[in-house]
Amino acid sequence: MPLDAAQQRAMMPVIARWRSDPKQPVACPACGKKGLAIVDRSARPYAEWYALSCSACGLDETLHVALGPSVPTLD
């Protein structure tokens, strides 16, 4: 059961909070129950990869965030 675009967008701030405090329980984006397991499988500086799994609903997805070079400003 893949995450739709809205669920993927909603996971970005959730992952940011998880990275700052990985011991806090996280709600599953599919079923809403606490206990989502997140594993950071990133290959920085190229991309961030997060494996998401939920034992309550069976979610087993990978969220990919492409990282690119910083864009210089024209100022």
Chain segment 10-25, per-residue pLDDT in tens: 999 999 999 999 999 9
Longest CA–CA separation in the chain, Å: 50
**Residue 1 above 70 pLDDT?**
no
29-56 residue pLDDT tens: 999 999 999 999 997 778 899 999 999 9
Q: Give kind and range of the element (H or E) at residue 17.
A: helix 5-20
User: Is this prediction's pTM over 0.85?
Assistant: no
Give the pLDDT confidence score for residue 34 in this predicted structure. Answer: 95
Where in the chain are the domains?
5-66
Say how far apart CA 54 and CA 36 lie, in whole Å: 5
Give the C-alpha separation, 74 to 58, whole Å. 47
